[in-house]
């Protein structure tokens, strides 16, 4: 569990650095971006190792049928991740679509995983995303972006979402956690 917590702390620290110490981060220039990238990758590795190695300590039992809710929320989450890149109809309407995608992803996984390691990982990343939105909103005025691709962007995003969901399902299957078979862990 300590590797998982260290990974979460490293992820949060690397991402909060720009918001907590903007002058120090700006002074680092491109080296700062590289540092955040390296720390983020290391954090992901630590979170994966820590999560996979953690003892199963049940905290609650997920309700029956939550697997379907999880799958639906994952579609929403992945779609939100693509909003900024494909610039569809939601692009000028949603601030922080990727961070909202993380929140939806976290909720989806908490619906089907009731163990301590899952609550720490998914709850921790969901909390990080919410705090990130608060910090960004406090420090920057949002000017809704103009333009975009409209429905074409939405269709591009939908296709990308479905492909990515398929890849994620295959990875989960490979790891022993099938996502469409009614077995969730």
Per-residue pLDDT tens over the stretch 75-87: 999 999 999 999 9
pLDDT above 80 (res 185):
no
d(CA 104, CA 75): 10
d(CA 171, CA 139): 38
Which pair of structure tokens corresponds to residue 117? 């390691």
Domain span holding position 22: 1-54
For residues 172 and 84, membership in a common domain is answered with yes
Which pair of structure tokens corresponds to residue 52? 């996979």
Which pair of structure tokens corresponds to residue 66? 């939550």
Instruction: Give the torsion through C-alpha atoms of 121, 116, 78, 75, to 10 deg.
Output: 180
pLDDT tens by residue, 63-106: 998 989 999 999 999 999 999 999 988 899 999 999 999 999 99
Task: With both helix axes pointing from N to C terminus, report the angle between 66-86 and 97-112 in degrees, rounded to the nearest 10.
Answer: 170
Confidence label for 181 from pLDDT (cuts 50, 70 and 90): low
For residues 123 and 74, membership in a common domain is answered with yes
For residues 8 and 47, membership in a common domain is answered with yes
| Domain-ending residue, one of 54, 70, 87 | 54
d(CA 80, CA 65): 24
For residues 77 and 7, membership in a common domain is answered with no
Domain count, the chain: 2
* Close Cβ partners of 58 (under 8 Å, ≥ 6 residues apart): 114, 115, 116
| Domain-ending residue, one of 54, 76, 97 | 54
Average pLDDT over residues 40-53: 97
Q: What percent of the chain has pLDDT over 90?
A: 71
pLDDT of residue 177: 79
* Close Cβ partners of 118 (under 8 Å, ≥ 6 residues apart): 51, 109, 110
CB 89 within 8 A of CB 154: yes
Confidence label for 184 from pLDDT (cuts 50, 70 and 90): very low
For residues 68 and 20, membership in a common domain is answered with no
Strand, coil or helix: what is 125? Answer: helix
pLDDT tens by residue, 116-162: 999 999 999 999 999 999 999 998 888 888 888 889 999 999 999 99
For residues 181 and 118, membership in a common domain is answered with yes
Which pair of structure tokens corresponds to residue 107? 């909720």
């Amino acid at each position: 569990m300590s590797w998982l917590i260290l990974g979460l702390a490293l992820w949060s620290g690397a991402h909060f650095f720009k918001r907590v110490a903007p002058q120090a981060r700006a002074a680092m220039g491109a080296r700062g971006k590289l540092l955040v990238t390296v720390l983020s990758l290391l954090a992901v590795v630590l979170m994966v190792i820590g999560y996979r190695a953690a003892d199963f300590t049940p905290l609650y039992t997920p309700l029956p049928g939550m697997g379907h809710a999880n799958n639906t929320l994952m579609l929403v989450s992945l779609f939100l991740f693509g909003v900024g890149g494909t610039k569809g109809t939601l692009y000028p309407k949603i601030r922080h679509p990727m961070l909202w995608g993380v929140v939806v992803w976290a909720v989806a996984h908490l619906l089907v995983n009731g163990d301590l390691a899952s609550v720490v990982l998914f709850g921790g990343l969901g909390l990080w995303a919410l705090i990130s939105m608060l910090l960004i909103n406090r420090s920057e005025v949002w000017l809704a972006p103009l333009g975009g691709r409209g429905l074409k962007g939405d269709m591009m995003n939908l296709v990308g979402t479905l492909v990515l969901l398929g890849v994620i399902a295959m990875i989960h299957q490979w790891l022993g956690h099938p996502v469409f078979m009614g077995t969730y862990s």
